[in-house]
Amino acid sequence: MKIDILTLFPNMFKIPLGESIIGRAREKGILNINVINIRDYSENKHKKVDDYPYGGGAGMVMQPQPIDTALEAIDAKNHKIIYMSPKGKTFNQEMAKELAKEERLIFICGHYEGIDQRVIDHWVTDEISIGDYVLTGGELPTMVVIDAVSRLIPGVLGQEESFMDESFYNGLLEYPQYTRPSEYKNMKVPDILLSGNHKKIEEWRKLQALKITKKNRPDMFEKYINGKNLNKEEKKLIQKLLEDKRLTF
């Protein structure tokens, strides 16, 4: 996948997108990430990129010309162009899976009071928010979306199964994880995980995922039990969860 990032602060992306899993994916050529400095495309002799908003108000607005020229220069037409904005749709795992199918993604990082609406009207295909709060710019949200999307691209993770049981992928939060030693400061790993009985282990993990989701994200739990065709084993686990007082909240 090719990813273009339009930003006023390109140095913010150097380390975060050059380390760990994403860094290795770039080295392998699975990800091609191109960071573009919007100021380089300003026609103002002082490389000015913002101005006061028409109609008055606090703050500054990013001008259309530098962004428009940058998008023209990278031949952005007919590709997904994402503007990270508090006004956008809230990002989730389903959106990540859909974006992971694209061959190319282009991100616009706003700053100040945002970007001129004419850029959005003419270029932007998707406005995305990562939550109901406001940050100083679109750089950090862009990193979040790129990280979530990239790990779903074949070859980025070491094993394709690595994300199958993770939180949100199958509609539930992830079950608890343990590793060596089996006992630490009088805290023991659940016996079932040491039993070698893989069927029982999978059942335990599914029950724990249901339990955690019901406690922390009741909205997800209700959607899961009402929005899909549950198999016989899942129905039994859910019934057990709802009836056993030790497992309810």
CA atoms within 13 A on the CB side of 89: 10
CA distances from 75 to 105, 123, 139, 192 (A): 12, 11, 22, 56
Neighbouring CB atoms inside 10 A of 120's CB total: 20
Tell me the pLDDT of the chain averaged across its residues: 92
Q: What pLDDT is recorded for position 1?
A: 97
The label of the residue with tokens 């990540």 reads 96
pLDDT, one tens digit per residue, over 124-173 is: 999 999 999 999 999 999 999 999 999 999 999 976 545 655 667 688 99
**Cβ–Cβ < 8 Å for 65, 56:** no
Do residues 149 and 96 make contact, with C-beta atoms less than 8 angstroms apart? yes
Determine the structural domain holding residue 24 and report its residue range.
2-158
Query: Domain holding 100: CATH number?
Result: 3.40.1280.10
How large is the average pLDDT for residues 222-229?
Answer: 85
Q: Do both 171 and 154 map to the same domain? A: no
* Residue 52, annotated as binding a ligand: no
State whether 9 and 123 are in the same domain. Answer: yes
CB–CB of 171/214 below 8 Å?
no
Judge whether 130 is annotated as a binding position: yes
Q: Which residue has the higher pLDDT, 233 or 189?
A: 189
The answer to whether 230 is annotated as binding is no
The answer to whether the annotation marks 135 as part of a ligand binding site is yes
pLDDT, one tens digit per residue, over 18-47 is 999 999 999 999 999 999 999 999 999 999
pLDDT of residue 246: 56
| Closest listed residue to residue 240, CA positions, set 208, 215, 213, 216 | 208
Question: pTM here?
Answer: 0.86
237 among annotated binding-site residues: no
pLDDT at 242: 84
- Domains identified in the chain, total number: 2
Mean pLDDT calculated for residue range 163-188: 85
Same domain, 242 and 149: no
